[in-house]
């Protein structure tokens, strides 16, 4: 009788190990699933440091590194060295062409030279107006017309 009970316990133990090994919800499978890549959603927020010398240039640099286009960007003024939202300034509407245009320049120096001529200069001046003290009170500004056909 002892041999039969031992044999039944051994068979149950082996079956339990096999079931656990082939179960898709085992801990080893959960670890693999939790290590999969995580996609972060990009935000339409632009953070500008409080002590910046050229706020429009910083805005253009910020949109040029975005991977995704947004028709409106929310601009926040942050304290120097902090990356948290501080004070909402305004929302600026742009066109997808502006993002495509400024993305083609790999260096900040190239962007700086481009905003001195042509439609890039007009876009830069529009952003400057949108971020001026007088215009910030309106809470919405549009600079989307300069690169509509780009």
Q: Are residues 60 and 122 in the same domain?
A: yes
Tell me the pLDDT tens digit for each residue of 62-86: 999 998 899 999 999 888 766 666 7
Any domain includes 82:
yes
**Mean pLDDT over the full length of the chain:** 83
With beta carbons less than 8 A apart as the criterion, state whether 146 and 114 touch: no
In terms of domains, do 84 and 16 share one?
no
Do 25 and 57 belong together in one domain? Answer: no
Taking the mean position of all CA atoms in its chain, how far away is CA 117? 29
Domain that holds residue 102: 45-147
- Shared domain for 73 and 106, answered yes or no, is yes
Q: pTM of the prediction?
A: 0.69
Query: Which own/partner contact pairs does 85-90 have at CB distance under 8 Å and 24+ positions apart?
Result: 85/45, 85/47, 86/50, 89/48, 89/131, 89/136, 90/130, 90/131, 90/135, 90/136, 90/138, 90/139, 90/140, 90/141
Claim to verify: residue 57 and residue 18 sit in the same structural domain: no
27 shares its domain with 95: no
Q: How far, CA to CA in Å, does 143 sit from each of 18, 42, 65, 69, 124? A: 65, 21, 18, 14, 9
Residue 39 lies in a domain: no
Taking the chain (150 residues) in runs of 10, the rounded mean pLDDT of each run is: 80 80 55 57 88 92 91 89 76 93 89 92 95 84 87
Q: At what angle do helices 118-130 and 55-64 cross, to 10 degrees?
A: 110
Instruction: Supply the pLDDT for residue 37.
Output: 61
The number of folded domains in the chain is 2
Instruction: Please tell me the total number of residues recorded for the chain in this structure.
Output: 150
């Amino acid at each position: 009788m002892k041999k039969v009970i031992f044999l039944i316990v051994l068979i149950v133990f082996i079956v339990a190990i096999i079931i656990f090994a082939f179960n898709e919800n085992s801990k080893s499978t959960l670890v693999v699933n939790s290590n999969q890549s995580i996609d972060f959603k990009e935000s339409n927020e632009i953070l500008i440091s409080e002590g910046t010398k050229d706020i429009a240039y910083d805005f253009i640099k910020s949109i040029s590194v975005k991977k995704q286009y947004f028709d409106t960007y929310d601009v926040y003024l942050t304290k120097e060295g902090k990356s948290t939202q501080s004070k909402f300034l305004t929302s600026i509407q742009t066109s997808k062409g502006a993002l495509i245009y400024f993305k083609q320049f790999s260096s900040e120096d190239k962007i700086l030279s481009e905003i001195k001529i042509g439609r890039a200069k007009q876009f830069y001046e529009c952003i400057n107006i949108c971020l001026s003290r007088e215009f910030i009170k309106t809470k919405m500004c549009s600079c989307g017309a300069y690169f509509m056909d780009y």
